[in-house]
Amino acid sequence: MMEGTSLVLPIVLLLLQCSPSAPVTVSTNRHKVEVEESKDAVLSCMFRTEVDPSPRIEWKKKGKEVSFVYFEGHFKAPYEGRATIDGATVTLHRVTQEDAGEYRCEISAPQDSITLGETNVTLKVLVPPNTPSCEIPSAAVTGSAVHLRCRDEQSIPPATYSWFKNSQPISPPRLTNATYLVDSHTGVLEFKAVAKDDSGHYSCLATNGVGKPKMCEGKHMTIEDVNVMAVVVTVVVLCLVVLVCGCGGLLLHRNGFFSPEHRGRSNVNYVPPPQEPQDFKHTQSFML
């Protein structure tokens, strides 16, 4: 019995020595982090080493060039003073658009068989809508095509837009032959041919699911009928002007104003008149 036990024990020890041990491993519970601007962002990083009890922890940010976020136990600018670390998890406080990007957590364990492990975390900073800029004409003529535009260039993700007339929402048209079109992504409200009933106060609301929606101030648009009498008078006056100019040119042509002989006569050299002799000459000097 003792001889059997003495044989088993060396075999167990040999197997323990030959069994593979876990090298340094690095992971995160969120590869993509979305947070609203001015709030805190948590970039998680968890690791496990084979032997090394005190691995080196580094955080880097990828861009045109790789820059250090956390190195040799300290945060680097511009994160110094507004970032904290717990284990290997970093929290960025009061994030801005400049903080958005891809980050990499690196764990270096020189005593392990595999000395380096890493994981990536992408940070997206969300921006609520700003007050959109609205382009609304103050007046238009019946039958003309009119475009109303609404835009917010700064919201992330991009805002979607809703139009209102007299504080009532304008629903997207259901019929293909509708007189207007609404594009919620570009913010354009298009009238193919406006009518008197389209007069009213128009405003636009921008929303992107982050923060509160914002509405532009809005503006009143008046649709006016075409002044037929003014159009007729203008056309008649233009016709008269063309007729008078045409008749005048024809008369001048008949009278030879444009003939070569007339142009030749107009180029006759000018001969100055002969000078008259002086009427008065000094014949003697006057002396006192």
- Angle among Cα 27, 31, 35 to the nearest 5 degrees reads 130
- What's the pTM value of the predicted model, to 2 decimals? 0.64
pLDDT digit string, tens, across residues 97-116: 999 999 999 999 888 777 88
According to the model, what pLDDT value does residue 53 have?
82
193: left (phi over 0), alpha (psi -120 to 50) or beta: beta
pLDDT over threshold 80, residue 37:
yes
According to the model, what pLDDT value does residue 16 have?
40
Residue 142 phi/psi, 5-degree rounding, is -55, 135
* pLDDT, mean over the chain: 82
Q: What is the dihedral of CA 280, 281, 283, 288, to 10 degrees?
A: 80
